[in-house]
Structure 1
Amino acid sequence: MARVSAELISAFRRTISKLKNNAPYQWGHMGACNCGNLAQEITNLSKADIHRYAMEKHGDWNDQLIEYCPTSGYPMDLMISKMIEAGLNIEELKHLEKLSDPKILKHIPIPKRHQLEKNNKADVILYLETWVLILENEWLSNVTVKIEEKKQKNLGEKVLA
């Protein structure tokens, strides 16, 4: 699962909000599709810039993720690197474009889980909302563990004082 952070969660939340408020969505447009909308929030690039960068190479998001090379110098590869730095991984991005990650799907009730359409804005929103809830729960769990560790450390210091 993604390397969770407040910044990544915020990017998901902004993407969901924009999609719910009629942001351009077009599955066949590299800057306005599932990955493209999230990429806008992570990279601060416009849909037009993302699409233009993608057209410098061939293929859709999945093809470009397969051929991703962090040292190629292609703007699309640099953008994918930025998404990876934000905490995502290549497999998650491939799944996002197709709404197919089993780790996310298992949290979507049946039968909707088996009826998601990769080019349906409402389904993309549901998938992103489900994913961000998973990320938020993981983030809260990590914060709670760190707080408990700190409490234990502080207790030990008081006993030894």
Structure 2
Amino acid sequence: MAQANVELVLALRETASRLKSGVHYAWGNHGSCNCGNLLQVVTKLSKEEIIRYAQTGTGEWTELAEEYCSITDAPVSLLIHKLEQLGLTPTDVHNIEYLEDREVLDNLPGGFRWLKRNIKEDVIVYMETFAGMLEEKLAKDIDISSLFENPAKVPGNTIELVNA
């Protein structure tokens, strides 16, 4: 499973939110499919720009991720590299595109069920569930006691402790 991190959680949540709000979705289109919409969020590229980059490789996102070579500097490798930087593996890319990660499916609201890769509502629930699972992993990794030992180092902390 993907490496849990805040950037990936935020990207999955923003992608799901954009899909809910009506952004263009078409599973057969590199720029507006499951991974294409995630890449729009991560790269700030348009669906048309993503299509141009993706067409420098051969196949769907699954094949592009498996054939990715970090040395080539081909434009499609830039897109795959962005997904890799988020903590995704080629298997994760495949699972996002086909909605197949069994762990995510087991954690869907209402329990396990198979989702359809080309149904926008299924993509939304998959991405939201995936993000929630990654958030849980992150929460388990946080040592809350260390935050109380030195509250001045907590980002955004504006509370000043006063000795009583």
Q: TM-score, normalised by structure 1?
A: 0.85
Distance in 2 (CA, whole Å) between partners of 1:43 and 1:4 is: 19
Partner of 1:148 in structure 2? 145
Tell me which residue corresponds to 2:87. Answer: 87
Q: Which residue of 2 aligns with 1:40?
A: 40
Unpaired segments of 5 or more residues in structure 2?
151-164
**Hey, what's the Cα distance between the residues in 2 that align with 1:55 and 1:28?**
13
Match of 1:156 in 2: none
**Helix, strand or coil at the partner of 2:59:** coil
1:43 touches 1:83 (CA, 8 Å); kept in 2? no
Distance 1:2 1:152 in 2: 31
- 1:101-120 to 2 correspondence within 5 Å? 101-108=101-108, 109-110=110-111, 113-114=113-114, 116-120=115-119
| Greater share of helix | 1
Match of 1:132 in 2: 131
Number of residue-to-residue matches in the alignment: 150
CA distance in 2, matches of 1:20, 1:26: 14
**Residue number in structure 1 paired with 2:66:** 66
Give the residue type in structure 1 aligned to 2:59: G
Aligned-pair identity (%): 38
Range moving further from structure 2, 15-24 or 87-96: 87-96
What residue number does 1:75 align with?
Answer: 75
Structure 2 counterpart of 1:159: none
C-alpha distance in 2 between matches for 1:96 and 1:45: 19
Amino acid at match of 2:126: Y
Aligned mates of 2:2, 2:100 — CA distance in 1: 15
* In structure 2, distance between residues paired with 1:106 and 1:27: 23
Amino acid at match of 1:140: A
| 8 A contact 2:105–2:111 mirrored in 1 | no
> Structure 1, residues 34-86: CA drift from partner, whole Å, max 9, x if none?
01111111122111111111111221111111211111111111111111111
Is residue 2–residue 87 contact of structure 2 (8 Å, CA) maintained in 1?
yes
Letter in 1 for 2:35: C
Q: CA deviation at 1:152?
A: 7.8
